[in-house]
A and B are shown apart, each in its own frame.
Chain A
Amino acid sequence: MSAHDHAAAPPHATLRGYLTGFVLSVILTAIPFWLVMGGVLESKQATAFIIMAFAAVQMIVHMIYFLHMSRKSEEGWTLVSLIFTLILVVITLAGSLWVMYHLNSNMMPGHETSVSPNEPF
């Protein structure tokens, strides 16, 4: 059956594809390491944003060239399950960081809302 031929040899699994993915991921890995190890940028915040962007792009490169993700693989179900998982991941990560950051800043000793006359010095 054509479905099994497809499973045995995904159309994206070519030497060219693997090499393209490898070269791209080497570049996308080397630049963030260079930025941090060399202290290239003055602003740490800018560096953090740039390396996060590089990580996101590299993850997509790996998905396409190594995991052979496409809209058509398994009739679209791999992509649907990936998108569902990504939504859960974003909720988990963003939610945890957001809630716990605010919890931390509101529970800090000496914070204006927690000042009481009995507070020890």
Chain B
Amino acid sequence: MSHALTDAQAAARDVFHDAHEHDHEAGGSTLLGFWIYLMSDCLIFAVLFATYGVVGGNYAAGPGPKDLFDLSLVAVNTAMLLLSSITYGFAMLASYRKQIGATQLWLAVTGLFGLAFLGIELYEFAHMIHEGATPQRSAFLSAFFTLVGTHGLHVTFGIIWLVTLMIQLGRHGLTRANERRLACLSLFWHFLDVIWIGVFTFVYLMGMLR
């Protein structure tokens, strides 16, 4: 480690390396690292999509997509997520203008849309389970609940992160660290929206076409 070296040893190191380290101060590569985490998350969803694709037609004489899915509910849900994406964008724009109040307000609106999404999804799940379409019922339902549930879990954690960040902003303001966190959550939130495009297309819309 460089800080363990004496000054003389440090001075003996080449200048190029020294300049390079100054260029990347704390958090300089956080966004790229977070992006790579999202890519690994993308692989998790790819595997869940593949599982759904393989066993999605195995109803075990139980209910199928046409018996269970309500597309108008899914359309409303999709609208909630899309609206939360644009409001998060407004929060980012407000943070660039250094307006803490506006940033927090737009974050709150984003969180409410996220909660509405989760509420509708949980209502849908509860409705399905009430009708006997539990995850144990068939391979199709196991794969469905795992895929859609994993996405919902991500949204849940996104909302927890969002509330945490609103408190952080209130306490410390728009510091460089908080700006970085806002940018990371922005990636996370918009990434979940991209995954949802896959979910409503492959699970819900294509399910109704089967």
Contact = CB atoms under 8 A, between A and B. Distances in A.
A93 B197 contact: no
Nearest to A96: B50
Interface residues of B, number: 47
Interface residues of A, number: 48
A13 interface: yes
Contacts of A78: 32, 35
A82 B176 CA distance: 26
Interface in B31-52: 31-32, 35-36, 39, 42-43, 46-47, 49-51
B201 A52 contact: yes
A36 interface: yes
Contacts of A77: 32
Nearest to B42: A85
Nearest to A8: B179
A63 B96 contact: no
A37 B85 contact: no
A72 interface: no
A97 B28 CA distance: 40
A82 B209 contact: no
Contacts of A26: 82
Interface stretch (B7-15, B114-122, B185-193): B185-193
Contacts of B176: 4, 8
Nearest to A28: B197
A93 B205 CA distance: 18
Interface of A: 1, 3-4, 7-9, 13-15, 18-19, 21-22, 25-26, 29, 32-33, 36-37, 44, 47-48, 51-52, 54-55, 58-59, 62-63, 66-67, 74, 77-78, 81-82, 84-85, 88-89, 92-93, 95-97, 100
Interface string B183-210: 1000100110110011011100110110
A67 B205 contact: no
Given A36-B71, A67-B190, A81-B39, A92 B50 contact: yes
Contacts of A44: 209
5 contacts: A7-B31, A26-B82, A51-B201, A67-B187, A74-B35
B205 to A, nearest CB: 5
A9 B75 contact: no
Nearest to A44: B209
B54 interface: yes
B78 interface: yes
